[in-house]
């Protein structure tokens, strides 16, 4: 239970409690993540991966009661999360918080940034619009260029190349299960490690 | 203010507010706001989850020529079977009246339900098994010279025929 003991520290440095030291960017990213998890879970009840995906989004957006609000919340929380996570990284550079003893948490944070970008991209692919299927084709072909494993890897991630209006079941599983769970557990470690490394007090 | 009520000593503040009081109020109103938003989300989320986007067609249109006489013929990709006898056309819905599984006409000229073993005779009257009611017949209208329209939401008696 070291997690809960470290997440509520005995004391916090007053300088670390200052709003202007962190701008709450990490916390805002976590809030966006919670909104994304809740709205994403709701969207899974009506979204159809595969050939019906573009139509199912149209149905969610224009027919299902409150579907437009839930989808818009998911979309905008996603946009905001990419923004706040990036700004959070810039803040960490600005306050030099990547320095010892926090190198490991910096690496974890970079992993979280990459995972967030992958979540954003796979979410974009699941829209199955003409634009996003083109992006999917490009990403698929980029992965194929990796010598040796490229073709297998591309099939593992994207499945068969898709036509407009169609989304890949594999991308759906990555977006809804694998990536969010990885982010969830890495986030837990990230928060715990902040306290373990001595809060957010300046060096 | 009574002295013995105070359990700790706060730093004096010109407004009467302390950081502790402020944070306690913040925690309380924050939890209240979360509970209130959870409460008002119940109705929208219920509506969202219970919405059915596709109800399916409520009528079937059939070309007359495809059906030979005195023989139940299934309309492809539907549960509707058509029979043409000397009195005219009748349409049967092959849904078991027990719990709704799809029944099939077997080579013994009986309708068998795969789920709980209900058996109906050729006309759709229950013979054995848990089903007590006959297989429903559907209302039909003649659209044009060679097209029949079957209403999937309206049943008629077993003896009704359409010419």
- For the beta carbon of residue B147, count every other beta carbon within 10 angstroms: 12
In this model, does residue B2 exceed pLDDT 70? Answer: no
Quote the pTM value.
0.74
> Is the ipTM reported for this complex over the cut 0.85?
no
pLDDT, greater one: B8 or B24? B24
Ranges A6-15, A18-27, A182-191, B110-119: which has the least confidence: A6-15
Q: Round the average pLDDT of chain B to a whole number and report it.
A: 87
Average pLDDT rounded to a whole number, residues A155-174 = 85
User: Where residue B7 falls among pLDDT bands split at 50, 70, 90?
Assistant: low
- What is the per-residue pLDDT across B29-81, written as a single tens digit (0 to 9) for each? 999 999 999 999 999 999 999 988 766 678 888 887 767 888 899 988 889 99
Q: What is the distance in angstroms between the Cα of A70 and the nearest Cα belonging to chain B? A: 9
Verify whether the Cβ–Cβ distance A65 to B53 is below 8 Å.
no
Which of B43, B48, B52, B54 is the best substitution to test chain A (most A C-beta atoms within 10 A)?
A: B48
Which of A41, A62, A65 is the best substitution to test chain B (most B C-beta atoms within 10 A)?
A: A65
Average pLDDT rounded to a whole number, residues B98-122 = 93
Residues of B in contact with A64 (CB under 8 A): 48, 51, 53
A198: left (phi over 0), alpha (psi -120 to 50) or beta: left
pLDDT score for B36 = 97
Average pLDDT rounded to a whole number, residues A157-166 = 78
| Identity of the residue in B44, B47, B53 whose CB atom sits nearest the CB atom of A63 | B53
% of chain B exceeding 90 in pLDDT: 55
In this model, does residue B10 exceed pLDDT 60? Answer: no
Verify whether the Cβ–Cβ distance B49 to A42 is below 8 Å.
yes
Q: What is the distance in angstroms between the Cα of B44 and the nearest Cα belonging to chain A? A: 6
Q: Output the DSSP codes for chain A.
A: -HHHHHHS-S---TTTT-HHHHTTHHHHHHHHHHHHHHHHHHHHTT---STTHHHHHHHHHHTSTTHHHHHHHHHHHHHHHHHHHHHHHHHHHHTTTTSTT-HHHHHHHHHHHHHHHHHHHHHHHHT--HHHHHHHHHHHHHHHTSTTTHHHHHHHHH-S---TT---HHHHHIIIIIHHHHHHHHHHHHHHHHHHTTTT---
In this model, does residue B20 exceed pLDDT 80? Answer: yes
Q: What is the distance between the alpha carbons of residues A24 and A91, in angstroms, rounded to a whole number?
A: 10
Verify whether the Cβ–Cβ distance A66 to B49 is below 8 Å.
no
Which of A19, A48, A56, A64 is the best substitution to test chain B (most B C-beta atoms within 10 A)?
A: A64
DSSP state of B95: B
User: Where residue A203 falls among pLDDT bands split at 50, 70, 90?
Assistant: very low
At A121, list the tokens: 């991209």
Q: What is the distance between the alpha carbons of residues B128 and B112, in angstroms, rounded to a whole number?
A: 10
In this model, does residue A162 exceed pLDDT 80? Answer: no
pLDDT score for B69 = 83
Q: What is the distance in angstroms between the Cα of A44 and the nearest Cα belonging to chain B? A: 10
pLDDT score for B11 = 61
Q: What is the distance in angstroms between the Cα of A190 and the nearest Cα belonging to chain B? A: 24
At B123, list the tokens: 């006309």
DSSP state of B64: G
Do A119 and A85 meet the contact criterion of CB atoms below 8 Å apart? no
The DSSP bridge partners found for residue A134 are none
Q: What is the distance in angstroms between the Cα of B53 and the nearest Cα belonging to chain A? A: 7
Chain A's closest residue to B45, CA to CA, is A66
- What is the per-residue pLDDT across A101-127, written as a single tens digit (0 to 9) for each? 889 999 999 999 999 999 999 999 999
Verify whether the Cβ–Cβ distance A67 to B49 is below 8 Å.
no
pLDDT score for A115 = 97
pLDDT score for B113 = 93
pLDDT, greater one: B126 or A22? B126
Residues of A in contact with B45 (CB under 8 A): 42, 66
pLDDT score for B1 = 45
Q: What is the distance between the alpha carbons of residues B159 and A189, in angstroms, rounded to a whole number?
A: 73
Residues of B in contact with A66 (CB under 8 A): 44-45, 47-48
- What is the per-residue pLDDT across A8-64, written as a single tens digit (0 to 9) for each? 666 667 766 677 777 889 999 999 999 999 999 999 999 999 888 999 999 999 999
Q: Sheet containing B73-74: which strands, arranged edge to edge?
A: B59-63, B147-156, B137-144, B88-93, B80-85, B73-74
Average pLDDT rounded to a whole number, residues A174-200 = 89
pLDDT score for A23 = 83
């Amino acid at each position: 239970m070291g997690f809960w003991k470290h997440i509520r520290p005995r004391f916090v440095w007053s300088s670390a409690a200052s709003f202007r030291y962190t701008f709450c960017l990490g916390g805002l990213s976590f809030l966006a993540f919670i909104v994304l998890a809740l709205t994403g879970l709701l969207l899974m009840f009506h979204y159809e991966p595969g050939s019906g995906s573009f139509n199912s989004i149209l149905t969610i957006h224009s027919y299902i009661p409150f579907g437009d609000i839930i989808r818009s919340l998911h979309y905008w929380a996603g946009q905001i999360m990419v923004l706040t996570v990036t700004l959070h990284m810039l803040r960490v550079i600005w306050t030099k918080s990547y320095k010892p003893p926090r190198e490991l948490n910096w690496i974890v944070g970079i992993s979280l940034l990459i995972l967030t970008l992958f979540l954003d991209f796979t979410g974009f692919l699941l829209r199955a619009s003409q634009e996003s299927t083109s992006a999917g084709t490009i990403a698929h072909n980029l992965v194929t260029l990796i010598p040796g494993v490229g073709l297998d890897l591309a099939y593992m991630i994207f499945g068969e190349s898709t036509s407009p209006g169609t989304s890949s079941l594999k991308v759906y599983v990555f977006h809804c299960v694998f990536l969010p769970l990885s982010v969830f557990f890495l986030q837990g470690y990230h928060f715990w490690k902040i306290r373990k490394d001595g809060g957010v007090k300046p060096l | 203010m009574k002295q013995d009520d105070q359990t700790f000593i706060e730093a004096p503040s010109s407004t009467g507010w302390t950081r502790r009081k402020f944070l306690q109020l913040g925690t309380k109103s924050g939890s209240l706001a979360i509970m209130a938003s959870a409460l008002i989300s119940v109705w929208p989320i219920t509506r969202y989850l219970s919405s059915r986007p596709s109800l399916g067609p409520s009528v079937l249109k059939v070309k007359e020529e495809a059906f030979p006489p005195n023989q139940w013929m299934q309309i492809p990709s539907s549960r509707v079977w058509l029979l043409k006898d000397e009195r005219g056309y009748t349409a049967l819905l092959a849904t078991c009246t027990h719990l709704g599984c799809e029944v099939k006409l077997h080579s013994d000229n009986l309708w068998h339900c795969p789920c709980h073993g209900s058996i109906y005779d050729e006309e759709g009257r229950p013979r054995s098994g848990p089903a007590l009611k006959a297989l429903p017949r559907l209302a039909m209208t003649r659209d044009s010279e060679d097209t029949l329209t079957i209403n999937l939401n309206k049943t008629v008696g077993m003896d009704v025929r359409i010419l």
